[in-house]
Amino acid sequence: GIQVEQSPPDLILQEGANSTLRCNFSDSVNNLQWFHQNPWGQLINLFYIPSGTKQNGRLSATTVATERYSLLYISSSQTTDSGVYFCAGLNNAGNMLTFGGGTRLMVKP
Amino acid sequence: DAGVIQSPRHEVTEMGQEVTLRCKPISGHNSLFWYRQTMMRGLELLIYFNNNVPIDDSGMPEDRFSAKMPNASFSTLKIQPSEPRDSAVYFCASSFSPGKFFGPGTRLTVL
């Protein structure tokens, strides 16, 4: 089945710091998506990124599909970045999303 | 677009009561998914529909859970009777192409 693993599981940053979150996924994962779950529980799409690099403001993501990993970069972190970051892999049929365990981020002022 | 809409946002009920969660997907999306999130098990897929037809309900935990999608703009997830271990956040998501959009979730507490 699909395997999605994230690291680190927990991360504490000082406001303004940069960070990199990693997601490893198995061969059966076709595409990758990054989500942010804010402290209020809302799940927000960040990137749909099967390969290559995308940027959105202070966030960017890179997926190297041939090496089965994706990275999420957060630059100049802010307290509002706190929450849990999930990556999720889509199966080859494109209809089942498997989530990793998440990285719980806390940004301190 | 208003995004995926779920109601209610919060539900507190007593064990044994029937609970109905509602979802309105994004207009034009042809797939709809119900997920459950708990501290112990993380995010789990319960069931998904394609063109209003249930495709895979293997994630539905028990017969107490049922889901329907009578039309392209509405789906329900029903728990009858509810139990305290059903307490969780239930997310609905919709998609048209790869890349899912999640609703705000319904936080269910069963006392």
Which of A45, A48, A99 is nearest residue B43 as measured by Cβ atoms? Answer: A99
Which residues from chain A sit within 8 angstroms of residue B108, using beta carbons? none
Which residues from chain B sit within 8 angstroms of residue A45, using beta carbons? 99-102
Buried (b) or exposed (e) across A86-104, using 16+ Cβ within 10 A?
bbbbbeeeebbbbbbebbe
d(C-alpha A42, C-alpha A60), whole Å: 20
Please indicate whether, in this complex, the C-beta atoms of B102 and A95 are within 8 angstroms of each other: no
- Residue A41 pLDDT greater than 80, yes or no: no
Each residue's pLDDT tens digit, A78-94 = 999 999 999 998 777 66
Each residue's pLDDT tens digit, A69-82 = 999 999 999 999 99
DSSP chain B: ----EEE-SEEEE-TT--EEEEEEPPTT--EEEEEEEETTTEEEEEEEEETTEEEE-TT--STTEEEEEEETTEEEEEESS--GGG-EEEEEEEESSSS-EE---EEEEE-
Which of B31, B99, B102 is nearest residue A48 as measured by Cβ atoms? Answer: B99
Which of B48, B99, B102 is nearest residue A95 as measured by Cβ atoms? Answer: B48
- Residue B39 pLDDT greater than 90, yes or no: no
